[in-house]
Structure 1
Amino acid sequence: MPNDDTRPLTLRDVSEASGVSEMTVSRVLRNRGDVSQATREKVLEAAKALGYVPNKIAGALASSRVNLVAVIIPSLRNMVFPEVMSGISAVLEETDLQPVVGVTDYLPEKEERVLYEMLSWRPSGVIIAGLEHTDASRAMLAASGIPVVEIMDVDGTPVDAMVGISHRRAGREMARAILRAGYQNIGFMGTKMPLDHRARKRFEGFTEALAKGGLEVMDQEFYSGGSALAKGREMTKAMLERTPELDFLYYSNDMIGAGGLLYLLDEGRDIPGEIGLAGFNGVELLDGLPRQLATMDACRDEIGTKAAQIIAARVENPDAEVEKIVELTPTISYGDTLRRR
């Protein structure tokens, strides 16, 4: 019989409905102790009929941990992070652990608040995007006493473990590919920095490699908020009107790159002969474009998978030997917008 009032259900409700003691109900629901199969089925049937969900926090007071993994990411709008979550979920669903997501909107102070709240639930582990945090956040992570995996980036020093790619290396490799293709007049369009630290690092690696090739970025523009596709079109139009001699446009992500590509196709521009384009992230959603945008895979699903494997292994055995620094290697996809040479 379901609970018709607004008070939370308790062990006593299940005890009364099943006709056994609260202690026995607790043992059944925690899968602990010697309880007969008949009694176990009676308790579980009563709990299910009532809609009772055990209070994991109360039940975990003795061990001070619950089977939750805090996953803290900057955005759910960015297509990158759902794929990371897919990798995390695929691993954790084979364990007793459940991911719980917090979103920071790329704001360090908000990340600090989200982390504080999530750690107060005493999770079994933390997976958090990026290596840059406030001093308070780093202190909380270091003092948490649980496995912590920072993801998406390896250009820095982790609190505990990290899984990701080198964004500086990714920027350098794209610049080298552009130089090999013979492009000389290069523009850059990206998200506002320094809030997006990984985009900043790619830009740093990109400009460093260009400088070694005797070039520098001829024009650049940054955006914040709004439709990435629309912004890509707007910024591409504005930049080419401002600097018409540009022969290559590098975008910090595929979505603004796709906007730029659609604008140039509407203008009838010769791609990649007259002007080349490249983005970053390898977003599969864009496979349906009239032309395939050159890009670089960010290893998103693999990052989520590796991070969750580290957490799961160390929750099962705190002394387990795991790789603390996992650097994955993204690859360039030339598509239809970057000449091969």
Structure 2
Amino acid sequence: MLGALAFRTLRPALPLSLANGLRGKLGKPAYLEDWFTTITPLLAGESAFKVTFDWDEEIGEPGAFLIVNNHHSEFYLRTVTLEDVPGYGRFHFVCNSWVYPAKHYKKDRVFFANKTYLPHEMPIPLRKYRDEEFLVLRGDGKGELQEWDRVYDYAYYNDLGDPDKGPDYARPVLGGSAEYPYPRRGRTSRPPTKSDPNSESRLPLLTSLNVYVPRDERFGHLKMSDFLAYGLKSIAQFIRPELEALCDSTPNEFDSFEDVMKIYEGGIKLPKGPQFDDIMKNIPLELLKEALPVDGEGLFRYPLPQVIKEDMSAWRTDDEFAREMLAGVNPLVIRLLEVSLCLNISFSLYH
């Protein structure tokens, strides 16, 4: 575990290193030596590590740094701060990127200083690194993209159908033709289907969340937990009414207002009290925390709308209809609204 990370600073100013291909001069590598002794929490949180650099005065102002991950797993690099740089003070790099093991990269990861340049103002020692970074992000259009790739490329919508199941499941390719010139989607380069080489194969439903998206753009673990929990809630809320509808002579419609209200009733009431609160606080998985209601609502039931929490008939009043109309919530589907200015309305009747 020792030396799992290696850092090298990069000087953006002259002189150039001819042996390095007109690139900026690199400082000596510095290694993270306390990864093993620093305990990283398993739950959501951040860890700070210290790295000691042997500073070379010839390096000057650091314009970027290179990082190599020799560990077997990836990590999320939020920021890097250089303290007490001789002659310059403090330098702060905002990274916000996942760094995978070095075996997944052809070149070392590079992060640039938080300083903007116009193209003609870019220091010459940084241009090679900038150009290489651009080529990495653009990709070469070859091979199936993996989770550690950082390619932002586009492709046609050629995965809308599944022609291998039969002609009824085939769909035209959207994009790249006179009839369907647009749109575009993120390129994944999955293998083509067996029956149509122009159509890209689709992922199975159970693994559909693993579709390629640049890792820095994917949901974090907390947001993904929210997403999955709300999905599970929606499925559970849908299943119960569907099972009850099997015994209904009109399963696809509500027979009365009472039928509408029943979807907000029932469910599994969870216990209340300090003991249950302690259990909720100590559940390690965010997915379970999000799936379990904490507002007193029953499990596997639709949440009661605010408008009828105090009065079950409040939704049908004229005041509520007017409030929803002004608030932008259309209580009815208005097809056309006509106003006649020639009506003889009795003032005493309506005031």
TM-score range, shorter chain: under 0.3
Greater C-alpha radius of gyration: 2
TM-score when normalising by structure 1:
0.25
Give the TM-score taking structure 2 as reference length.
0.24
Greater RCO (CA < 8 Å, at least 6 residues apart)? 1
Structure with greater proportional helix content: 1
